[in-house]
A and B are shown apart, each in its own frame.
Chain A
Amino acid sequence: MKIGRRGFLSFVIGGAAGTALSPLPWKLTDDSSIWTQMWPWTPVPKDGETSYVNSVCTLCSGGCGITVRKIDERAVKIEGMKGHPINNGGACLLGLSGLQLLYGPTRIKSPLKRTGKRGQGGWEKISWKAAVSEVVEKLGNLRSKSQSHTVGFVSGSDRGTIPRLFERFLTAYGSPNLMRMPSVRDSYELTLHMMQGVQALPGFDFENADFILSLGSGIIDGWGSPVRMFRANSAWQNANVKVIQIEPRLSNTAAKSSKWIPINPGTETALVMGLAHVIIKEYLYDTGFILNYTNGFEDWKRLVMDNYSPDSVAAITGIDSGTIVVLARSFANASRPLAICGRGDGSSPVSLKGCTAVHALNALVGNVNKKGGVWAVSDTDYISWPEIEMDSKAAAGMQHERLDGAGSKKYLFSRYLMNRLPETVNSGAQYPLQALFVSGANPLYTLHDTKSTEKAFDKIPFVVSFSSYMDETAQNADLILPNHVFLERYEDVPAPVGLIQPVIGLAKPVVEPQFNTRHVGDVIIRMAKGLGGSVADAFPWDSYYSCLKETLNDNWETLVDKGFRSDTELMNPTLESSFDTVSGKFEFINPDTGSMPQFKPVSIEGDEKLYPLVLIPYDSIRLANSYIGDPPFAIKTVEDTVLKGKYVFVEINPKTARSAGLHEGQRVLLITPKGKAEVKIHLFEGIMPGIIALPRGLGHTAFDDYLAGKGINFNTLIGTVEDPDSGMDTAWGIRAKLSKV
């Protein structure tokens, strides 16, 4: 057939017109747009039945109740539990990000045994049976060689059934070396012991106080039970309660306070002594309390009056004497004033002299163990287990002095000094540590002087981590026995430190374990059974679940049902029963040591000439800095003046920056006697000239790509400064310099 040009053209034009008029192009256009609305690579969340589970968040020690929304078997949202005595519906951003930890890429999915060199990331999956056998074999060998005391346990907490199982295990096995990670609680416990003769937790009746003097405590920066503090802070706003914040940097807490008084860092105790001076001089103190319930006041008064006049305190602190006098008067004249200490989020202890000074200030105005004051809270002890029958090996092991020196002659009353462990291990002065178990803690990240901690860990032949996430310590362990995360397990959660009403929470499985993990409680029981003999006998339970249920006893039903149990009837301690000292009174001077609250500067590392600046850390609720790292949601909230790409910003006063020729956003080398790091400059009017500040919680080398490699870990830049009275690490900063790159 011959197709003429004309025919061809008609065909083409007709065909084009026909196609255009047909439904085909319209259909294709429509389909293509629909296709963009359901790209297979964009997930479609499955719908299902909605349910809610009440539990407790254990991502920090805050103890918040949570309600988890589920769709079928998936947890889809964490919310604060309404009506919960601690958080009543509120939640911090870490708690709200919890599901990213549950389902996140940083989880350890099965027991892992190291292959290759430590810390190089070589892992081999092993079975639980093999993992536990390996541990039992190691521990059995050590014990048979009478080396049981060379085994240590590091735990984030020492309260609740899990830490108590660790303790029980170590006792039955024969080691005194259970260590709790440091915090300002250490200082407070020791203070209560020294001044009131009690073994108790500090409690603060914030809800009833009407004047708060905070010596650098980050009330809304993570101090105490964070959500409780947020709520207290709002209640203060409503009730017009005065909050005075003393610190060298305009923290969020300082910004939210009624008044921010900048102070030379490290001189807070001098201010406290100065306030005491004015209060005593002007007879503003609670004479009734001082006369009837205290001992040693006259001696202390002499010390205060001789050394801490407002003028001399002004010279030390940089706060003018007029301000000191006014502050002292308004503190003393308030009806329920309350002074607190513990810098930032309170994860570092303060010196014993400093903490006792603050407690003495509270005692001056008589607000000890009363409404709106500081309480010595005895831990609600719901845990009563049968006595442990120690065999001779265990008894012998327990005779050894602790490696960290707590309870030694030098630091008789300190209970845990985890901060001293690296030094002891490194110096080899005492016996070597043969095995270390870590649970709910990440010492390789959170302890000051990371390098020395790493060195110590290198010396320990066998390191076992119970971490659910690949944190820095797990990364450097020999064996990882991954615990369930809190949304997959039962665990009792005692009231957070600082609270005065007794609350017990119960974390419970919201979802099935997602991976081949095991409850650390079950693992401990298995380890004990594996060791046999008296160690096994100390663990009469067949599982952690039965142990917990038996322990909680009458409370079990309520806890499973509501998620918490709270007694509104407070045990309001009478003043008469508050002091268990020899005198039966509040002691301004410790009768054993003769030590008195006073200002003894904690000098920081570094030569002023070489290092003209002072570097201090700061805490932010948006940056988790304990053993949990920031999940993706949380790190997303970090401002671009704190972190940009892989650089963290160091805050510096514009004046200081100008004299050093530095400008906003500039990249510089931050050098301290302990290390150096490349950081960026952020000019901040709210920081005292001469001081520079870095946030804590960044610079992870472990976890996932959403967190690792961002910024630097403050702890790599700071060393430890041991408090001569307590052995605690009271380093609050370090000298530093900035050099251009």
Chain B
Amino acid sequence: MKHNKAQKFGMVIDLDKCTGCGSCMVACMSENNVPFRKDESDKFLSITWMRVYRLTNGKPFPNTDICYLPRPCMQCAGQHEGHSPCVSVCPAIATDYSTETGIVSQIYTRCFGCRYCMASCPYHARYFNWWDPIWPDGMEKYLSPNVSPRMRGVVEKCSFCFHRYQLAKEKAFMEGRRNIEENEYQTACTQACPAGAVTFGDLNNPDHAVYNLVKPDHKHSGRPTNPHAFRLLERLGTNPKVYYLSSRKWVRQVGDNYLKNEAKVKKPVHHG
């Protein structure tokens, strides 16, 4: 069978619409069997594949402004495809870049927990299982068989709900189709977002909404041509596939580091 054209699954999050409601975080946790503990208030130890950051513009009352910024794994491609910060460093190929889908995988049963990938990820998208995952008695009933629970000592992260891609592919295959439609593969967080702030699809496909929202310039590592679109830490060359939209300048500037003479914005503060 002829191989499909390479896809580049990506996400566009409209920060003007995002309300910080946290539905995406919970949709992800319940879709992906993410464990929880009695005290999750230490965010350095709390596994949240999707984390919603709360940013403020740092200005005093009453000129204060807040913006919420949901952060899944950016599925970085790096400067040449597959040279993601994390994939390039993993000594055991327990995390890999798929040129087919553009998705950075994580194989829990291969990972031996060296955490080098975590050190390499500037987005803190990777989480280590410091503890054995424990579900209170009875609660393991809701665990989904599509995603295996992770054992202690390995790293996990957002997979762009890869199992949903697999299920969609399988379904298409059974129906004798080669390609899947845009709506056949949508991530759990995209679906759950009550504000409709998250859009998901193939950045290589001009028919897909994500493509039209950011108009990625694939000749230049997919940088957005929509002036309201930006990516986090674009200047590092991580080449993420998660884009953000904002009409507010300070929000777009929060996305990257600038020298003082480049942008005269007050450094924003992160709360929580």
User: Which residues of A line the B interface, CB within 8 A?
Assistant: 36-37, 39, 41-48, 69, 71, 74-80, 87, 89-93, 96-97, 99-100, 102-105, 220, 226-227, 230-231, 233-234, 237, 250, 252, 255-256, 260, 262, 514, 621-622, 632-645, 653-655, 682, 684-689, 704-706, 710
Contacts and interface: CB of A to CB of B under 8 A. Distances in A.
A79 B14 CA distance: 21
Contact of B66 (A45, A255, A643): A255
B65 interface: yes
Nearest to A43: B140
B176 interface: no
A634 B194 CA distance: 15
B17 A643 contact: no
Nearest to B151: A42
A624 to B, nearest CB: 12
Nearest to A255: B66
8 contacts: A37-B151, A74-B142, A230-B19, A231-B196, A237-B17, A252-B68, A642-B272, A655-B61
Contacts of B29: 633, 636
A45 B151 contact: no
B128 to A, nearest CB: 15
Contact of B272 (A41, A80, A233, A640): A640
Contacts of A688: 61-62
Interface stretch (B38-46, B230-238, B256-264): B38-46
User: Which 3 residue pairs spanning A and B have beta carbons closest together?
Assistant: A639-B272, A90-B194, A230-B194
Among A76, A80, A260, A637: residue with most chain B CB under 10 A: A637
Contacts of A69: 144
B192 A80 contact: yes
B26 A79 contact: no
B38 A92 contact: no
Interface residues of B, number: 68
B66 A96 contact: no
A632 B138 CA distance: 14
A636 B151 contact: no
Contacts of A689: 61
B146 to A, nearest CB: 8
B48 interface: yes
Contact of A220 (B19, B26, B46, B54): B19
B153 to A, nearest CB: 8
A401 B145 CA distance: 57
A685 B145 contact: no
B194 A80 contact: yes
Contacts of A78: 30
Given A45-B145, A96-B27, A686-B61, A706 B36 contact: yes
Interface string B113-142: 000000000000000000011111111111
A644 B61 CA distance: 25
B195 A76 contact: no
A79 B189 CA distance: 10
Given A45-B33, A256-B19, 9 more contacts: A76-B144, A87-B194, A90-B193, A92-B194, A93-B22, A231-B196, A233-B17, A234-B197, A633-B26
A216 to B, nearest CB: 15
Nearest to B24: A93
A44 B42 CA distance: 27
Contact of B23 (A96, A237, A642): A96
Contact of B61 (A36, A71, A262, A632): A262
Nearest to A109: B138
B159 to A, nearest CB: 16
Given A43-B149, A706-B36, A634 B22 contact: yes
A704 B151 CA distance: 25
Interface string B27-63: 1011101001011111100101000101010111110
B191 interface: yes
A592 B246 CA distance: 53
Contact of B143 (A45, A80, A514): A45
Nearest to B38: A705
B77 interface: no
Contact of B52 (A46, A637, A686): A637
Given A45-B149, A645-B39, A91 B138 contact: no
Given A100-B142, A685-B56, A688-B61, A641 B23 contact: no
Contacts of A640: 41-43, 272
A100 B141 CA distance: 10
Given A79-B191, A91-B23, A234-B17, A39 B145 contact: no
Interface in B136-194: 136-145, 148-153, 188, 191-194
B25 to A, nearest CB: 5
Given A233-B195, A255-B66, A639-B271, A633 B41 contact: no
Given A514-B138, A640-B41, A686 B132 contact: no
Contacts of B139: 100, 103-105
Nearest to B53: A639
Given A636-B46, A640-B272, A77 B30 contact: yes
A227 B19 CA distance: 11
Contacts of A644: 41-42
Given A93-B22, A231-B195, A706-B36, A685 B59 contact: yes
B99 interface: no
A87 B193 CA distance: 10
Nearest to A645: B41
A92 to B, nearest CB: 6
Contacts of A227: 194
B26 A97 contact: yes
Given A44-B148, A231-B194, A688-B61, A635 B40 contact: yes
B17 A77 contact: no
Contacts of A42: 132-133, 149-152
B90 to A, nearest CB: 17
B66 A93 contact: no
A46 B136 CA distance: 17
A255 B20 CA distance: 10
B135 A233 contact: no
Nearest to A682: B271
A33 to B, nearest CB: 8
Interface in B186-221: 188, 191-197
A622 B22 contact: yes
B196 A103 contact: no
A323 to B, nearest CB: 11
Given A91-B194, A684-B271, A686-B66, A75 B21 contact: no
B136 A104 contact: yes
A514 B138 CA distance: 10
Given A76-B143, A255-B65, A632 B192 contact: no
A238 to B, nearest CB: 8
Contacts of B43: 639-640
Given A42-B132, A96-B30, A641-B272, A74 B149 contact: no
B19 A252 contact: yes
Contact of B195 (A90, A255, A704): A90
Contacts of B66: 250, 252, 255, 686
Contacts of B23: 90-93, 96
Contacts of B11: none
B4 interface: no
Contact of B26 (A96, A226, A643): A96
A24 to B, nearest CB: 22
Given A93-B23, A234-B197, A685 B136 contact: no
A89 B191 contact: yes
A229 to B, nearest CB: 9
